[in-house]
């Protein structure tokens, strides 16, 4: 298999994990390159439903090495719960200890990060981002402020203590005077770090340089993204975004192997769209049709249980996503969810509600999105169950027409079509 990166191409939850899991079969090494346990990835395999947050879904196979890369942030107690959850479904602890690796360079989410994420969201009131409150933003903030704790620091007590002498007085000022929260003693932080050291110890890969070189030179690699292009810190609907780079370019940085290791970038699009949390969403449907998409598509968050906002496919943001996401081909998921819709709409323009002007280039300032309404193209539904289709030719004519039009609008080929959550419910074109 050519080295491939799988990227969410909308607002996250596109079904990336299903696609990653499928492609992992032909990869030797699967590496997650950004984000943390804000992600919620569901894989249905062998009749069981697995919930992933940070562990690459390749772990379900017998002999694939899976790495949580340098670009990720780790909340060790969440990781522990995630691993225990997967173990309870039949994957052994020995398997995890053999195949799961953690980059020593990944940053650690401390309790104070989670405290400040929750607090910031509460004080922002109606301007809140709608984060997962996992501490992701504050962990990345500290990383870039050069006051983060990395996984490797947990294993070097002397260095950690010296680091804390610099970080903690600053952090405590922030906690007390900005957030009105309880400061931490050095002993409390050292205790927390010791707890985290024990959780990460079986997985931390201090031999990562040699191992990655071997994978880079001799094996096939799958890069697993979280979130989606429209939640990217640089290219998404800023500031209603996550704090990392889900775009394919993020893989070059976060997986420690650079951009020219990657041969293909698959963008995963849902056949319609969803969003969790706040922020503009031009094709959002707040009516019965939106509710129908949510109920049929089971659109509730894996991490927070929040109902996902639903709407029609937006070809304006999708085309932008192909460009800035660096996508070379597309996977289209949840096509089966549209089985019962007589009409299926696709936004092919944004119309200014005041002036009537129609634009077809994506406006990067999301505040302006509220000035626009979608210009829809209406497609006839196929009104039949496609969840058992195994080949492209078995799809109804109207479904083929819908796919062909999306391909045309995206400007890249749809090479994978998903018609159900199961591994088997996939059409490779």
Among 7, 9, 11, 13, binds Mg ion (CB under 5 A): 13
Q: Which C-beta is closer to ligand GDP: that of 40 or that of 326?
A: 40
Stretch of 11-19, 211-219, 242-250, 330-338 lying at the interface with Mg ion (CB under 5 A): 11-19
Buried b (16+ CB within 10 A) or exposed e, 235-246: bbbeebbbbbbb
With CB under 6 A as the rule, give the number of residues binding ligand GDP: 23
Among 3, 11, 15, 314, binds ligand GDP (CB under 6 A): 15
Stretch of 37-45, 88-96, 314-322, 385-393 lying at the interface with ligand IMO (CB under 6 A): 37-45
Among 85, 118, 130, 183, binds ligand IMO (CB under 6 A): 130
From the list 41, 53, 113, 379, the catalytic residue is 41
With CB under 6 A as the rule, give the number of residues binding ligand IMO: 22
Q: Which C-beta is closer to ligand GDP: that of 368 or that of 388?
A: 388
Any contact of residue 15 with Mg ion (CB under 5 A)?
A: no
One character per residue 241-280, x = contact with ligand IMO (rule: CB under 6 A): -xx--------------------------------xx---
Any contact of residue 12 with ligand IMO (CB under 6 A)?
A: yes
- For 284, the 3-state DSSP assignment is strand
135/131 Cα distance (integer angstroms)? 9
Cβ atoms of 237 and 369 within 8 Å: the answer is yes
Distance of alpha carbon 225 from its chain centroid, rounded? 5
Long-range contact pairs involving 171-180 (C-beta distance under 8 Å, separation at least 24): 171/112, 171/147, 174/116, 175/112, 175/115, 175/116, 179/115, 179/116, 179/119, 179/120
Buried b (16+ CB within 10 A) or exposed e, 29-47: bbbbbbbbbbbbbbbbbee
User: CA angle 123-124-126, nearest 5°?
Assistant: 125
Q: Looking at the DSSP assignment, which residues form a beta bridge with residue 163?
A: none
Stretch of 9-17, 118-126, 286-294, 405-413 lying at the interface with ligand GDP (CB under 6 A): 9-17
Catalytic residue check, 13: yes
State phi, psi for 428 to the nearest 5 degrees.
Answer: -95, 125
Among 129, 278, 420, 427, binds ligand GDP (CB under 6 A): 420
Query: What's the min distance (Å) between Cβ of 299 and Mg ion?
Result: 10
Query: What's the min distance (Å) between Cβ of 65 and ligand IMO?
Result: 21
42 binds, among ligand GDP, Mg ion, ligand IMO, none (CB under 5 to 8 A by kind): ligand GDP
Among 15, 40, 58, 71, binds ligand IMO (CB under 6 A): 40
Q: Diameter of the chain by CA atoms? A: 67
Q: Which C-beta is closer to ligand GDP: that of 347 or that of 416?
A: 416
Any contact of residue 227 with ligand IMO (CB under 6 A)?
A: yes
DSSP 109: P
Cβ atoms of 398 and 379 within 8 Å: the answer is yes
Strands (E), 253-312: 264-270, 273-275, 309-311
Among 13, 142, 232, 314, binds ligand GDP (CB under 6 A): 13
Query: What's the min distance (Å) between Cβ of 40 and ligand IMO?
Result: 4
Q: How far is CA 323 from CA 140, 209, 316, 403, 417, in A?
A: 25, 32, 11, 19, 21
Any contact of residue 17 with ligand GDP (CB under 6 A)?
A: yes
Which run of H or E residues covers position 25?
Answer: none
Q: Give CA torsion, residues 88, 89, 91, 92, to 10 deg.
A: 30
Instruction: List contacts with ligand GDP (CB under 6 A).
Output: 8, 12-18, 39-42, 44, 298, 302, 333-334, 336-337, 418-421
Residues taking part in catalysis: 13, 41
Instruction: List contacts with ligand IMO (CB under 6 A).
Output: 8, 12-13, 38-41, 129-132, 134, 136-137, 226-228, 231, 242-243, 276-277
């Amino acid at each position: 298999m050519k080295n491939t990166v799988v990227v969410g191409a909308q607002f996250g939850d596109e079904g990336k994990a299903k696609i990653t899991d499928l492609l992992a079969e032909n990869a030797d090494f699967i590496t997650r390159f950004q984000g943390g346990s804000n992600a919620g990835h569901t894989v249905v395999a062998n009749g069981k439903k697995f919930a992933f947050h940070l562990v690459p879904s390749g772990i379900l196979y017998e002999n694939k090495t899976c790495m949580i890369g340098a670009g990720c942030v780790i909340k060790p107690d969440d990781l522990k719960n995630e691993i225990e959850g997967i173990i309870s479904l039949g994957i052994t602890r020995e398997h995890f200890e053999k195949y799961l690796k953690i980059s020593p360079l990944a940053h650690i989410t401390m309790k104070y990060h989670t405290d400040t994420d929750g607090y910031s969201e509460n004080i922002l009131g109606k301007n809140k981002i709608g984060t997962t409150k996992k501490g992701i933003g504050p962990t990345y903030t500290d990383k870039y402020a050069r006051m983060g704790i990395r996984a490797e620091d947990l294993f070097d007590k002397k260095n950690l203590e010296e680091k804390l002498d610099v970080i903690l007085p600053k952090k405590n000022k922030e906690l007390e005077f900005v957030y009105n929260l309880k400061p931490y003693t050095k002993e409390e932080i050292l205790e927390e770090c010791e707890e985290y050291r024990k959780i990460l110890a079986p997985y931390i890969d201090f031999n990562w340089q040699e191992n990655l070189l071997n994978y880079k030179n001799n094996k096939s690699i799958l890069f697993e993204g979280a979130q989606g292009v429209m939640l990217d810190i640089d290219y998404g609907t800023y500031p209603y975004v996550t704090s990392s780079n889900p775009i394919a370019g993020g893989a070059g940085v976060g997986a420690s192997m650079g951009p020219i290791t990657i041969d293909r970038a698959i963008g995963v699009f849902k056949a319609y769209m969803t969003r969790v949390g706040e922020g503009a969403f031009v094709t959002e449907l707040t009516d019965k049709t939106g509710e129908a998409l949510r109920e049929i598509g089971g659109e509730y968050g894996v991490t927070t249980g929040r109902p996902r906002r639903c709407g029609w496919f937006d070809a304006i943001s999708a085309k932008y996503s192909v460009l800035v996401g660096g996508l070379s081909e597309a996977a289209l998921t949840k096509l089966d969810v549209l089985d019962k819709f007589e009409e299926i709409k696709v936004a092919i323009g944004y119309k200014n509600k005041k002036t009537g002007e129609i634009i077809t280039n994506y406006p990067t300032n999301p505040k302006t999105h509220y000035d626009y309404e979608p210009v829809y193209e209406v497609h006839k539904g196929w009104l039949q169950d496609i969840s058992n289709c195994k080949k492209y030719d078995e799809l109804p004519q109207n479904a083929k027409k819908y796919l062909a039009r999306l391909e045309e609008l995206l400007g890249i080929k749809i090479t994978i079509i998903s018609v159900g959550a199961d591994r088997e419910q996939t059409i490779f074109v």
